[in-house]
Amino acid sequence: MKPLSRILLALSLTALAAAAGAAVPVPQPKPAVSLPQAPTPPPPDIDAKSWVLMDYATGQILAAKDPDLRVEPASITKVMTDYAVSAEVAAGKVRMDDPVFISENAWKSGGAGTDGSTSFLKVNSKVPLKDLLYGMIIQSGNDAAIALAEHVGGSEATFAELMNAYAKRLGMAGTHYVNASGYPAADHYTTAHDVALLSRALIHDFPEDYAISAIKEFEWNGIKQHNRNTLLWRDPSVDGIKTGHTKGAGFCLAASAKQGDARMIAIVMGAPSEKARADDAQALLNYGFRFYETHVLYQAGKPVATPTLWKGETAQLPVGVAENVLVTIPRGRYGDLKASMDLPATLIAPYKKGQPIGSLRVSLDGKPVAQRPLVALADAPEGGFFKRLSDAVLLWFQGGKGSAPEQQPDTR
């Protein structure tokens, strides 16, 4: 056998499905009469500074315009304020029933005397933290955002640094915060891509708090205000997330909708009007649901292959992925996916469960759509003395290289 340091197992997706024991859904047989592949049209024409359409399940960007352009976030800032407060609650540092003091600063900077959105909080009063979250998310209350920041961080400036720490953790490389409300300020900026990352994290990490953004109205201090996200009334599949507007930022909207098992996130930054931001976000969501689909290709813990193991207690080592592998692709293209594995030509015990072995790649039209590490799915200790000796002799006769795993993929 020709010695190889590593061997690339180029397999069709169907072949890998067999190797994984039906870990991958097998494409349906092609019809007897082959029809031309339906094209995927370009995304809608969006009149905004920047925008992003993201698939929630995979985090893939399906379409975008200037996704990393630095823009003013306006009240989209409050999505991070919500995330940071929710994270601090989850960590036990503050509680939902905490009485939060409404300082003169919160009242003066974000209250009824300003020209921004407000929850009409009374100065020197105390309001439960949960009610402030409702006021900030539904009413977009600047006073609520500032009061929350002061309670959680001790001051709004300190809380802004906490926001930046969470942004860094989430990979929001193009974002920097200096306040909790989104009031225009120097060095306060974000990107459409970062807002999409943040929105996905909020939905995933704090689903109960995210659900607040689907509530259409909230009353505080005898004043009932409606959620500014007009898509909540237009489309029943829309359940969030947040609007924003200032003269410099234009009209912004982070929107998300769920249809069946699929969820899309649309971010529109700098639209020319309130109607335009809603129409644009709706168009992006519709485009995502209509022309894309998500598949679970490989399940965590299920063997993708069982290559030969040398000098071990067992003759084979099951390898697979530690987390489900999902891809979002244009509808009707599932059968065109190609998968390959990169594994060592010779696997010699011992291995520990979870130890990286190689890599799995999935591509469409030659472009990568997923890449994940392949790991050992079980402990593989060394075999006894005679097993190690006999395998050493066999390996010596083969020039130190074992049988290529591609000879016998695991089809059990």
Angle in degrees, CA 101, 106, 112, rounded to 5? 115
Q: Which segment, 37-41, 222-226, 393-397, is predicted with the most confidence on average?
A: 222-226
Give residue-wise pLDDT tens across range 122-136. Answer: 999 999 999 999 999
Secondary element (H or E) of residue 287: helix 274-291
d(CA 205, CA 197): 12
Could you tell me the pLDDT band of residue 412, with boundaries at 50, 70 and 90? very low
Structure tokens at 356: 């990286």
For residue 361, count other CB atoms closer than 10 A to its CB: 16
Alpha-helical (H) ranges within 65-177 are 77-90, 104-110, 129-138, 142-153, 156-169
322 class by beta-carbon count within 10 Å (0-12 exposed, 13-18 middle, 19+ buried): middle
Angle in degrees, CA 297, 303, 309, rounded to 5? 145
Average pLDDT over the chain reads 89
Q: State the catalytic residues.
A: 75, 78, 140
15 contact partners, CB below 8 Å, separation of at least 6: 409
104 contact partners, CB below 8 Å, separation of at least 6: 123, 124
Q: Are strands 309-310 and 347-348 parallel, antiparallel or unpaired?
A: parallel
Give residue-wise pLDDT tens across range 243-296. Answer: 999 999 999 999 999 999 999 999 999 999 999 999 999 999 999 999 999 999
Give residue-wise pLDDT tens across range 59-105. Answer: 999 999 999 999 999 999 999 999 999 999 999 999 999 999 999 99
Q: For residues 319-343, give the mean pLDDT.
A: 93
3-state SS of 250-278 is: EEEEEEEEEECCEEEEEEEEEECCHHHHH
Computed over its alpha carbons, how large is the radius of gyration of the chain? 27
Query: What percent of the chain clears pLDDT 90, i.e. is strictly above it?
Result: 80
Q: Does the structure show a pLDDT above 70 at 163?
A: yes
- Say which DSSP state 173 is in: T
pTM of structure = 0.84
Q: For residues 102-116, give the mean pLDDT.
A: 90
Structure tokens at 362: 């999935």
Instruction: Find how far residue 69's CA is from the centre of its chain.
Output: 20
175 contact partners, CB below 8 Å, separation of at least 6: 73, 80, 164, 167, 189, 190, 191, 194
Single-letter amino acid code for the residue at 40:
T
d(CA 221, CA 135): 11
Q: Does the structure show a pLDDT above 70 at 10?
A: no
Which of 3-17, 20-34, 91-105, 183-197 is predicted with the least confidence, judged by mean pLDDT? 3-17
What was the pLDDT predicted at 325? 94
324 contact partners, CB below 8 Å, separation of at least 6: 296, 298, 299, 300
**Is the separation of the CB atoms in 77 and 179 below 8 Å?**
yes
Secondary element (H or E) of residue 127: strand 126-128
What was the pLDDT predicted at 48? 97
CA atoms within 13 A on the CB side of 92: 0
365 backbone φψ class: left, alpha, beta (φ>0; ψ -120 to 50)? left
